[in-house]
Structure 1
Amino acid sequence: MSTEELPLSYAQQRLWFLDQLKPNSAFYNTTITWHLEGRLDQAVLKRSLQEVIQRHEILRTNFIAVDGKASQIIHEEINWTISVTDLTNLSSTEQEVAAKQLVQQKALQPFDLANELLIRATLVVLSENEHIFSICMHHIVNDGWSTGVFIQELATLYNAYLQGLPSPLTPLTIQYADFALWQREWLQGEVRQRQLNYWQKQLADAPDLLSLPTDRPRASMQTVAGANHRFVLSEQLTLQLVKLSQEQGVTLFMTLLAVFDTLLYRYTGQEDILVGTPIANRNQSQLEQLIGFFVNTLVMRTSLEGDPTFSELLIQVRKIATEAYTHQDLPFEMLVEALQPERDLSYTPLFQVMFALDDNSLHSMELTGLKVNPIPIEWETAKFDLSLSMENTARGLI
């Protein structure tokens, strides 16, 4: 174990604080699951997983309190292995039920940030040529981009080891702890104030709440109970949206955000719309290959005052998004602390609606000799009043 106690990044510190307030919660667990069809080499899979964990210090990190302050401790050696459950003696119907229960149980099992590795892998054996494979990590060591890095490195290692080859991965020059140190040293003084000045001006006099019409009164304290609804925009409609974006000189994200803003305006009647959106927050090329909690949240504020045309709205969204990207380094936690919005336990501060456009290609996994298909997990939780998460796939926007 490293004897050095290292600081957390600002985003990590917020999650650590939330964990102290409400321990034994699985709310910030992130899980991805696949169905594997074909001949799987379990020993090679285990070796590949262990190599990824050894390669990224953040996956060997625990978070402890030292004199009331959060610190991260990096372990040099770990005692970790994949959990394997054999269901070959069950019927196919029983297997389906048991596998789903097991994956959900692992996904909803809280992590102990101070005392256990914050990644767990589960392999369910259905037959010699059929498996369910699931990875669960705590958000404090992971984000969406990191999941993509993890998957690609795991696949690269598995495919190499299967052929008896050494790891083809280039050694990492920095680790997440270096980013956390750099962030705290860099985001000071004039740099921090310049970022803060923009956001204070941009969000001045913003409404506290976007009042979506609901089928029941808002609870006095926000709950995390929620539901999911999946839908697909056709390939033809998706291509039309891409073409419109190109013609208007905007990204697909900007077009979809403008559409979403319009929809929110139609449902609420409010002309001042605030929507949160995640951003990878990896401005330096060295950070792109790291696993860790880098993602930041930006607040996109759009005005529909004066009944603008959609083209006019797109111009506004492009300007707002471009400026937000320029000022993306200020951690959302720091922004909330500086703005001190009116706090109400029944809704989240600054915004209550989230929009994300994900890169579906990041989470595809190709393993030699295996047909790999992701299995969506239906969460019954929600961090915000409404979240719209879209992926651009070959079938269209999902």
Structure 2
Amino acid sequence: MTVDAVDLIDLYAAEGGGGEEYEFPASDAQSRLLVLDQLNPGSPQYNVPVAFAVHGPFDTAAFGRALDALVDRHEALRTVFRTAEDGTPAQRVSAVGRVPLTVHRDVPADGADALLLAEAARPFDTSAGPLLRCTVYAVDDGSHRVLLVAHHLVCDGWSLGLMLEELSEGYRDTVRGLPHRPAELPLQFPDYAAWQRERAADGAFEASVRHWVERLRGAPATMELPLDRPRPAVRTAAGGTERFVFGAEVRERLAEVAAASGATPFMT
């Protein structure tokens, strides 16, 4: 198996490179996640991976250009995190950047999945970045496996679907030699974070805080659910997946409960 580095460039260059940088406050959700990341440094628990297989011709260089265009359009994908001078979490956005894209060639078909899992679990450095990376595995059966991994600080499950859709469109245009110029985004995530901080400074969230403090008064510290083994003294990320099918009657009842609670079926 051989490895090529394609556009293996730091998203946030050292001094003298990478263009101008901008600094914004982190959002509330990002601030909470940064605390958890600092409590358990080097953990892949907040990695957001997605992998897909390509059968047929695959232009790695064109895919890399489409990926760079995606990062150019979305500031969140060019972001790292630090502590500002006032001690609050801040996000630093690079004006330009490229995604590290590594290509593994001649990968045995029976070993591709293990390589994907290992790369998906490789942790990020949230202060150095980049917080998005891509690996392509050219398998010896002629197919390709493509793995994108982002840190949850800059991407969530919903955003991932939108990102893949935009990336697919960009790749298709690039391969065909067509210009790919999606509309400029009127707002970026740092705009939302700044708006959130302004509202907090104006006291807009105080009523919500008081509401939930009262509603949760006396709530148990842990949810004592029936378990099939004792709760460990220290929580781990070990777990599994159980799949089952709801009948129509149960699904309808769940939908009713969700609607009455103002929640999505997923939340319910």
TM range (shorter): 0.7 to 0.9
What corresponds to 1:42 in structure 2? 60
Of 248, 251, 259 in structure 2, the residue corresponding to residue 318 of structure 1 is 259
Q: 1:209 to 1:24 in 2, by over 3 A?
A: closer
**What residue identity is the alignment partner of 1:206?**
A
**2:167 maps to which of 150, 154, 178:** 154
Residue matched to 2:103: 84
Contact 1:160 1:168 in 2 (8 A): no
Measured at CA, do residues 33 and 24 of structure 1 come closer, stay the same or move farther in structure 2, by a change above 3 Å?
same
**Matched residues in 1 for 2:23 and 2:168: separation?**
33
Equivalent residue number for residue 61 of structure 1: 79
Where in structure 2 are the equivalents of 1:269-308 lying within 5 Å?
Answer: none
SS of residue matched to 1:32: strand
Aligned pair count reads 249
1:32 aligned to which of 31, 50, 71:
50
Does the C-alpha gap of structure 1 residues 232 and 41 become closer, same or farther in structure 2, counting only changes over 3 Å? Answer: farther
Q: Name the SS of the counterpart of 1:120 in structure 2.
A: strand
CA-CA distance at 1:81 after TM superposition = 3.3
- 1:141 and 1:131 mapped to 2: Cα distance? 26
Task: Find the partner of 1:6 among 1, 24, 36.
Answer: 24
Q: 1:10 to 1:215 in 2, by over 3 A?
A: same
After superposition, the Cα gap between the structure-2 partners of 1:206 and 1:145, relative to the gap in structure 1 and judged at 3 Å, is same
The answer to whether the Cα contact below 8 Å between 2:21 and 2:94 also exists between their aligned partners in 1 is no
Task: Note the alpha carbon deviations across 1:361-388, whole angstroms, 9 max, x for none.
Answer: xxxxxxxxxxxxxxxxxxxxxxxxxxx9
Aligned CA distance change for structure 1 residues 189 and 73 (closer, same or farther; 3 Å): closer
Hey, what does 1:113 align to over in structure 2?
126
CA-to-aligned-CA distance 1:86-125 (integer Å, 9 cap, x gap):
125x4xxxx22x2112111111111011112101111111
Assess if the C-alpha contact under 8 Å between 1:26 and 1:111 holds in 2.
Answer: yes
Shift of 1:5: 2.7
Counterpart of 2:266, as a letter, is A
1:187 aligns with 2:227: no
Give the counterpart letter for 1:148 in structure 2. G
Partner of 1:22: 40
Judging changes above 3 Å, is the alpha-carbon distance between structure 1 residues 32 and 3 closer, same or farther for their aligned structure 2 residues? closer
Alignment of 1:166-245 (within 5 A): 166-232=179-245, 237=247, 244=252
Answer with 193-202 or 7-16: which moved more.
193-202
Q: Could you tell me which of 87, 94, 100 is aligned with 1:75?
A: 94
2:55 is paired with a residue whose SS is strand
What amino acid is aligned across from residue 95 of structure 2 in structure 1?
E
Task: Say if 2:150 is the partner of 1:137.
Answer: yes
- The 1-side partners of 2:213 and 2:37 are apart by 28
Give the share of equivalent positions with the same residue, in percent: 32
Alignment of 1:352-367 (within 5 A): 356=266
- Runs of 5+ unmatched residues, structure 1: 246-253, 256-313, 326-354, 358-387, 389-398
8 Å CA contact retained: 1:46, 1:82: yes
SS in structure 2 of the partner of residue 6 of structure 1 = strand
Residue 66 of structure 1, CA deviation? 3.3
CA RMSD of aligned residues (A): 2.6
39, 43, 51: which one pairs with 2:69?
Answer: 51
| Separation (CA, whole Å) in 1 of partners of 2:244 and 2:55 | 26
Bigger Cα displacement from structure 2, 15-24 vs 132-141: 15-24
Question: In 2, are the aligned partners of 1:156 and 1:168 still within 8 Å (CA)?
Answer: no
1:87 is paired with a residue whose SS is: strand
Gaps of 5+ in 2: 1-18
The Cα offsets for residues 30-61 of structure 1, whole Å up to 9 and x where unpaired, read as 11111211221222111111110111111111
Q: Aligned-pair distance for 1:69?
A: 3.2
Separation of aligned partners in 2, 1:82 and 1:3: 22
The answer as to whether partners of 2:21 and 2:95 remain within 8 angstroms in 1 is no
Task: Write the distance in 2 (CA, Å) between the matches of 1:199 and 1:72.
Answer: 28
- 8 Å CA contact retained: 1:5, 1:72: yes
- Aligned partners of 2:81 and 2:91 also within 8 Å: yes
Give per-residue Cα distances to partners, 1:261-294, cap 9 Å, x unaligned. xxxxxxxxxxxxxxxxxxxxxxxxxxxxxxxxxx
Deviation at 1:168, TM superposition (A): 4.5
SS at match of 1:15: helix
Deviation at 1:128, TM superposition (A): 7.5
TM-score by length of 2: 0.82
